């Protein structure tokens, strides 16, 4: 693989790592209950990053790849909303205090990210 082919992958990896560090290291350190306004602001920020990345992909490699990214992004967002309802049911049925409801599933979400990345990597390598 040439350096030109590696550059987008490295930029993506650095960007995702930076956002994860901000989320887990800065935002995740606060153990307070998040307000609806704050949750909406963070959601808008994350959606803006996702759509901005689509624009970057469009400018970098073209409209077809950007459309493929957007299709995957929309599917992932819909699955995330589905997971949200699942978390709400599990956390409420286990009577987890509101203060800890962000901290408790943290490792499960992190594990899911690692497993998705592993499965994607293995799937790309074997097929």
pLDDT in tens, 9-54: 888 889 888 987 887 777 666 667 778 898 899 889 989 989 998 9
- pLDDT category of residue 58 using cuts at 50, 70 and 90: very high
Q: If you search the block for the tokens 């994607």, which residue do you land on?
A: 120
- Give the mean model confidence (pLDDT) for residues 61-90: 89
Cβ atoms of residues 9 and 17 within 8 Å: no
Length of the chain counted residue by residue: 127
How many Å apart are CA 31 and CA 50, to the nearest integer?
Answer: 26
pLDDT band for 82, please (50, 70, 90 cuts).
confident
pTM score, whole prediction:
0.62
Distance CA(79)–CA(53), nearest Å, equals 19
Q: How many helices (H) and strands (E) does the chain have?
A: 4, 0
Place of tokens 């998705």: 116
Using N-to-C axis directions, what is the helix angle for 36-61 and 3-21, rounded to 10°? 180
Using DSSP's 3-state secondary structure scheme, residue 38 falls into helix
In this predicted structure, the answer to whether residue 106 has a pLDDT above a threshold of 70 is yes
């Amino acid at each position: 693989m040439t350096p030109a082919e590696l550059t987008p992958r490295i930029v993506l990896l650095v960007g995702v790592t930076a956002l994860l560090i901000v989320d887990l290291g800065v935002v995740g350190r606060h153990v307070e209950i998040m307000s609806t306004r704050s949750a909406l602001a963070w959601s808008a920020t994350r959606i803006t990053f996702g759509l901005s990345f689509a624009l970057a992909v469009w400018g970098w490699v073209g409209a077809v790849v950007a459309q493929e990214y957007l299709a995957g992004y929309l599917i992932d967002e819909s699955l995330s909303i589905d997971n949200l309802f699942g978390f709400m049911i599990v956390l409420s049925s286990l009577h987890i205090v509101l203060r800890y409801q962000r901290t408790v599933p943290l490792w499960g979400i992190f594990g899911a990210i690692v497993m998705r990345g592993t499965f994607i990597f293995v799937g790309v390598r074997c097929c």
